[in-house]
Structure 1
Amino acid sequence: MSDQLKQRNRELSILNAIAHALNQSVNLDQALETALEKVAALLGLSTSWIWLMHEDTHQPYLAAAQNLPPVLRDNPSKMGGWCYCLDTYEKGDLKGAANVNVVACSRLKGLVEGTDGLQYHASIPLYAQDKKVGVLNVGSAEWRELSEEDLRLLNTVGDLMSIAIERARLYEKSVEIGAVDERFRLARELHDTLGQNLVAILMRLETLDALLDGNTDRKILSETVRDAIALARDNLEDARRAVLNLRAAPLENRTLIEALKTLGQNIGGAASVRVKSIGEHPLSIRIEASLYRMAQEALNNIAQHADAQKVLIELTSTPQYVQLVVEDDGRGFDPENVREDRYGLIGLNERAHLLGGSFAIESAPDRGTRLEIHIPLEREI
């Protein structure tokens, strides 16, 4: 094998390791530090660091660094604010796939001690399409001219980093959206159960208060009190269920099927819940969490309204789609003549459509209910 081919294989191996580090780590800062170490190894350079731009303020901040000279590493103030390379990037002078600038580091200007001999670095612009993401800097005490191959490799690394950074930011936004979605779900549940039951309890107590003023039969008074107590107990159970639904990380350290089985045991009511799995195609965290919440909402509805004896949760996963079916043998209802918010149907429909999927319901009085959520996986990025 020629030396050139060996070098090419080594470069591809390191690029693959960089891509793996950026794609596998949940912690973006840690992933960037690992990638920086491999960038230095790729080109035989001594140091590297990456600036990112705050999305809100568009101010630069040091996101990760590897083997900085002591004068920069030990003096945080030296690594704050704007500098020549960031100013150049902000003006757009670094834009362009072949435009990797080698500049004299303005943060080291006039310094000798603690610089480890570093004077110059190469700056690689990071973009997500036309959006400014940040700047990757690499340097070495004994600076050498970068070959066309070096420039190509650095731009490839920059592209990998830009994609990973933008994906991480989009994931953070999706988590925030999920938290808001959960608040809406809880608000709907509280309105549909706790709020309505509290109104019913209040009406019973007002009736009781009016009856106490007259010569009402004691049996009627007792029945009114018992009704109020029963409603209060139902309300307490609903409150406990709401708290259970909010427990953190239901999927943490568990598969989706395991989490669904636990969910069935906890909030299946008096019904016997069976969970069936067809296929084992891996799913994204977002889809797993959404499917779990949809099953949770469906089981809540069954426990509150269906009076079912048996419930089946069936999860089918293939490379093309995932399907969740929740079926019960309860009292059922006429879907055409019921408010959607009464059985949480709006929330289920919204969740399915947010994933590009569909939601269908089959039910009839005294014939049970079947909910079917179908999510295509080709849409996932």
Structure 2
Amino acid sequence: MKMTDVSTETPSLQQQNRELFILHKIAEALNRETNLSQALHTTLAQVAELFNLHTGWVYLQDDGSEQFYLGAAQNLPPALAQNHCALMDGNCTCLNSYLAGGLDNRDRVNVITCSRLEGLVSGTDGLRVHASIPLQAHGKPLGVLNVASEQAQWWETSADLLSLLHTVGDMLSIAVERARLFDQRAELGATRERNRLAREIHDTLAQGLTGIALQLESVDALLESGAGPERIRPVVQRALDVTRVNLDEARRSVLDLRAAPLAGRTLAEALAALAAEFDAAQSPAVEFSASGGNRPLPVRLEVGLYRMAQEALANVARHAGASQVTVDLRVTPAQARLRVQDNGRGFDPDHVPPGRFGLIGLRERAKLLGGALTLESSPGVGSRIEVTVPLSTGEAAP
């Protein structure tokens, strides 16, 4: 019987397990993010921690050009971070090499002397070289991932792990492409809605205004001819009637624009569809539940609660880093209550992080509806937002 040398295989297995662990952690982090900036920052933080590196940054290429912009950075040395990263603007050795196809060899890690740090005597944190990994999806160039460490000859001691960076680059490329497609889909939806409204304005409001103009021209002609009030008054009345009809059309169009997702649906049905949409978009898994939500409510309440759920879910997708979200609607004769809860990173409600201005909008919406918003969160345990809106006795949809 052939004996296996466990002593020689164990380090190899340990290395494989280490590599799988790294890839799993990065994939898990990327799957939680749909916001491009957050996905980049999350990946850089994971790479720095898991590869025992110190610094990283990502350049993204503008579509259809050879121009790059700094998408994200982790622990840049002071010389590169000062003056709003002024030294990071423009092309450099690694970006020019990327454009020329010099980074495409997947059999090796491209270790490049950083031309942005050359000649500097201070503020470099000892960094002189970095590893550069090209980012591309389906043959489409997306940018460059750079990583570095302040340790001497770090690229040699980390050679085995650095070989994984090409795989990490592939994962990051998919995340970048997914985020861009997500943004394009949102933009396409907004364009379709604008086109729909433009058609409706043309078909109703514009034609109605033309009718009003014709009636007023008739009044002008009657005045010129010296006609008496008995002939002019009916024409003025017709102009007023058309004006009122068009005012109703304008109000309906504005209402439809604000509440298009609610058209033909109850609030519970619209929220269920919203939760499914976020879930399908590879946002955190979203679970929806409702009780009494099929009861018709005043339009202003349905629209307000729907928009608050929409904003709360968007905040979770952008900032929370959550894997699970629950949306719960409870409607009783006395009140409507909407709750959105996640298992993300949480934060201190007394010190709202930058970019959380959506919370201000949520409070304002709740106040406009005559209700109240409560927020519970702490670092590491997720967040819960609850909106409670009172219902007048017998209040129903108009």
Please say whether Structure 1 and Structure 2 have the same fold, judged by a TM-score greater than 0.5. yes
For 2:133, the equivalent position in structure 1 comes to 124
Residue 87 of structure 1 is aligned with which of 89, 92, 96? 96
Compared with structure 1, are the counterparts of its residues 116 and 169 closer, same or farther at alpha carbon in structure 2 (3 Å cutoff)? same
Compared with structure 1, are the counterparts of its residues 13 and 244 closer, same or farther at alpha carbon in structure 2 (3 Å cutoff)? farther
For 2:180, the equivalent position in structure 1 comes to 169
Structure with greater contact order relative to length (CA < 8 Å, sep ≥ 6): 2
Residue 229 of structure 1 is aligned with which of 231, 236, 240? 240
CA distance in structure 2 between the partners assigned to 1:7 and 1:205 by the alignment? 85
- Correspondence 1:266-345 to 2 at 5 A: 282-284=276-278
For 2:253, the equivalent position in structure 1 comes to 242
CA distance in structure 2 between the partners assigned to 1:277 and 1:38 by the alignment? 34
Residue 60 of structure 1 is aligned with which of 47, 64, 68? 68
Report the 3-state secondary structure (helix = DSSP H, G, I; strand = E; otherwise coil) of the residue aligned with 1:283: helix
For 2:161, the equivalent position in structure 1 comes to 150
Q: TM-score scaled to structure 1, two decimals? A: 0.60
The alpha carbon displacement at 1:46 in A equals: 1.5
For 1:72, the equivalent position in structure 2 comes to 80
**Alignment check: 8 A CA contact 1:51 1:136 kept:** yes
Note if 1:188 corresponds to 2:182: no
Note if 1:96 corresponds to 2:119: no
The alpha carbon displacement at 1:30 in A equals: 2.3
Over the matched positions of the two proteins, sequence identity in percent amounts to 48
For 2:332, the equivalent position in structure 1 comes to none
For 1:51, the equivalent position in structure 2 comes to 59
Residue 106 of structure 1 aligns with an amino acid whose one-letter code is S
CA distance in structure 2 between the partners assigned to 1:279 and 1:179 by the alignment? 18
CA distance in structure 1 between the partners assigned to 2:270 and 2:122 by the alignment? 67
The alpha carbon displacement at 1:189 in A equals: 0.4
The alpha carbon displacement at 1:238 in A equals: 1.1
Question: RMSD in angstroms over aligned alpha carbons?
Answer: 3.6
Compared with structure 1, are the counterparts of its residues 110 and 227 closer, same or farther at alpha carbon in structure 2 (3 Å cutoff)? closer
The alpha carbon displacement at 1:285 in A equals: 8.5
Deviation track 1:68-117 (CA, whole Å, cap 9, x = no partner) reads 22222225332222222112111101113334211222222233432222
Q: TM-score scaled to structure 2, two decimals? A: 0.58
Note if 1:24 corresponds to 2:32: yes
**Alignment check: 8 A CA contact 2:108 2:163 kept:** no
Residue 282 of structure 1 aligns with an amino acid whose one-letter code is A
Residue 173 of structure 2 aligns with an amino acid whose one-letter code is S
Name the count of aligned residue pairs.
Answer: 269
CA distance in structure 1 between the partners assigned to 2:133 and 2:146 by the alignment? 6
CA distance in structure 2 between the partners assigned to 1:258 and 1:235 by the alignment? 21
For 1:137, the equivalent position in structure 2 comes to 146
CA distance in structure 1 between the partners assigned to 2:199 and 2:163 by the alignment? 54
**Unaligned stretches of 5+ residues in structure 2:** 1-5, 282-398
Residue 12 of structure 1 aligns with an amino acid whose one-letter code is L
CA distance in structure 1 between the partners assigned to 2:22 and 2:33 by the alignment? 17
Compared with structure 1, are the counterparts of its residues 280 and 195 closer, same or farther at alpha carbon in structure 2 (3 Å cutoff)? closer
